[in-house]
A and B are shown apart, each in its own frame.
Chain A
C-alpha cells in the first residue's frame, strides 16, 4: 500500500482543470523560504484529500524544488550530496544529453529557467479561468506577506479551444494514456502495461528490480517524493500546418500525414487499430483506445511508422526492460489558440509539460537521449522524433507503405524548447520537515 495521505496528488491524479498557472520562485534566505513554505503547505493536496474532495474542489496546488532550492531552504550539504548527479546538475547543464542544442539551447530559454536562483515551482491547476484569477491573487497576497521570496517568472496555462477534450495546439487529443501503479487503487486500462511497481515513480517503494536502494537522505525528505522534469515546448503551429499542406494534397491526406507523425489520428484513435480511417468513437473509448502493441500488431510500421512520436516514447513490446523507462506525464497548454484558417501570428504557444519518475537519468533522460533523439533508433538511420526531436532540417521521416515506403526529407522543427528544469516533488511530511528547518 502506498502512503496516499502523504504523496502529492499530482503523482497519481490528473486534476479536472481547464486552467492553471505555474509560478517560479527564488528564496533570498532559508528563513524567508521556510516562512513562505509554512504558509503554502496547507494548500497542497495529497492523493487522498484530492480524491475525497474532487467533486467540490476548484484548485489543486503542487510544490516542488530544484536542488539549489533544497539548499536555499537549508538542507545540509551531506544530505544534498545524496541526491542523484543529474538532479544536482540541473536540466540546463544536461543540455547536450537532452538534445537541447541550437534554438533549444538554455542560452535562449525564457523565464529564468536556467538561472541557478530558480528554487521552487508552484504548480496551480484550476477548474476554470475564474478560479485561476482568484488563486493568482491569493498567491500574490501570500507572497506579499512573505518578504524574501521572489517570483522569477510565471506562466498561465489554459485548455485550448474549440474541442471539449484535452488537445494541443496542433489539434492532437492528449491525456489518453494513464499508468496504473501498484497500491494506488487504480485499475490498469487495457494497453497501459499492467500494474507498475511504485518504486519506478515514487521514492521509498520497491521498483522492478526489488526493494528500494540508494535513496536520497534523510528518509523523511525522500520518502513519497519523486523527480519531475519540466519542459516548456513552443509549438510552431503555422509551420506544422504548412508542412501538412505541402505534403498532403487533400484534407484527408493531410489528416493521415498528421496521424503518421504521431501514431494516432488527431481524434486520438490509434493507427494500429484504425490504420486507414479515423474512428472518433474508438478514440473516446478508454477500454479500447490504448489496447494495442507493436511486435505482432505492426512489426514493420505500416500502421504506426517506426519513428512516430508515440512509438518512440513508448515502444511497448518492442523495447527491452520497458517498465524501467515508463514516465508519468502531466501538464497543460499555454498561449493563444490559432484558429484553423488564421496565418501564423508569431505569438508563443505550446505545451508546458511535466515528466515524473523515480530516476531522471533512467527514465526522462533515456527517453530524450535515446528514444527521441537517437537518429538510428530502430535502425532508422536519419530520423528523430518528428514532434519533439532536435530537428535542424537535415533529417527525414519514413512512412512504410506498400509497395514502397514514403520518405519525407528536410523535416522542419515543429517545436522549440523554451525552458525547463529538474524538480524534486516531496511528500507532505517532507514539505513540513523542510518548512520547519
Chain B
C-alpha cells in the first residue's frame, strides 16, 4: 500500500485525541521513530538491549498489552553522528492507546533509552503529552508498506499456531 506524503490518506483521516491517526496498512499499525542520540551514549543503548532482553526473559508477557508483532532497535551513523531508529509493528492503534503505551513503555523500561536522545523531554514520566509530542514529531511515516499476510493480527497468528499444535496432537493420538 502506497501512502501519501505526510502519512495520511487525505479523504479518510480519522481524528485521534492527539491529532490525526496514522492509518492501518496491510503491515498493521506501526511507527518508525528516528532521532539523533546524545553524543557518546552508544553504549547506553547497547546495555539497554541487554536489559530489555532480560526483562522479557523474566516475564514473557510483559509486552503483551501492546499487541506487538515486532520491535526493532537500530543505531546508525550519518556524517559521524549517531542516530537511533526505533521501529514497531503492532495491532494496537498506538495513537488511540497512547497513554497506556507510554505507561507500559515506562514500566518495562523501553522508554528509558529515549532519555539519551536529543530533545527528549526530561519530565516525560510525569508529562505524557510531552512524550507523545516527541514521538509524533520524530515519527517518519512509511511511503510504502507490504504484508505477506495482510492485516492479520498477532493474536490470529498465535491462535493458528495453537490450532496447528492441537491438530498435530490429534494426529498423534490417532496413530
Contacts and interface: CB of A to CB of B under 8 A. Distances in A.
Nearest to A99: B15
Contacts of A366: 17, 99
Interface in B109-164: 123, 125-128, 153, 155
Contacts of A362: 99, 128
B104 interface: yes
A210 B17 contact: no
A369 B127 contact: no
Nearest to A322: B100
B36 interface: no
A96 interface: yes
A96 B97 contact: no
Nearest to A360: B17
Given A97-B16, A365-B17, A379-B153, A209 B100 contact: no
Given A97-B17, A210-B126, A320 B97 contact: yes
Interface in A361-385: 361-362, 365-366, 369-370, 374, 376, 379
Of A210, A213, A321, A366, chain B has the most CB atoms within 10 Å of the CB of: A321
Contacts, number: 44
Contacts of B42: none
A214 interface: yes
B65 interface: yes
A324 interface: yes
Interface in A37-89: 86
Contacts of B96: 369-370, 374
Contacts of B100: 320-321, 324
Contact of B97 (A209, A213, A361, A370): A370
Contact of B15 (A97, A209, A376, A379): A97
A231 B127 CA distance: 28
Nearest to A362: B99
Chain A interface mostly: helix
Chain B interface mostly: loop
A86 B19 CA distance: 12
Interface in A324-379: 324, 361-362, 365-366, 369-370, 374, 376, 379
Contacts of A321: 99-100, 103-104
A209 B126 contact: yes
A432 B96 CA distance: 39
B4 to A, nearest CB: 20
Tier of interface size on chain B = 20 to 34
Nearest to A84: B129
Contacts of B65: 320
A263 B148 CA distance: 38
Interface string A301-322: 0000000000000000000110
A369 B126 contact: no
B126 A361 contact: no
A373 to B, nearest CB: 10
A371 B17 CA distance: 13
Given A97-B15, A97-B16, A366-B17, A213 B99 contact: no
B103 A361 contact: no
A376 B155 CA distance: 14
A63 to B, nearest CB: 28
A365 B17 CA distance: 7
Contacts of A324: 99-100, 103
A86 B18 CA distance: 10
Contacts of B128: 362
B166 to A, nearest CB: 17
A291 to B, nearest CB: 25
Interface string B70-111: 000000000000000000000101001101100110000000
Contact of A320 (B18, B103, B123): B103
Contacts of B18: 361
B127 A214 contact: yes
A253 to B, nearest CB: 32
Contacts of A374: 93, 96
Contacts of B123: 213
A367 to B, nearest CB: 11
Contacts of A96: 15
A417 B113 CA distance: 44
B15 A213 contact: no
Contacts of A86: 17
Interface in B1-49: 15-18
Interface string A393-422: 000000000000000000000000000000
Nearest to B104: A320
Contacts of B16: 97, 369
Contacts of B99: 321, 324, 362, 366
Interface of A: 86, 96-97, 209-210, 213-214, 320-321, 324, 361-362, 365-366, 369-370, 374, 376, 379
Given A97-B15, A320-B104, A324-B99, 19 more contacts: A96-B15, A97-B17, A209-B103, A209-B126, A213-B123, A214-B126, A214-B127, A320-B103, A321-B99, A321-B104, A362-B99, A365-B17, A366-B17, A366-B99, A369-B17, A370-B96, A370-B97, A374-B93, A376-B93
CB-based closest 9 A-B pairs: A96-B15, A213-B126, A320-B65, A320-B100, A370-B96, A321-B100, A321-B103, A365-B17, A97-B15
11 contacts: A209-B103, A209-B125, A214-B127, A320-B103, A324-B99, A324-B100, A366-B99, A369-B16, A369-B17, A374-B93, A376-B93
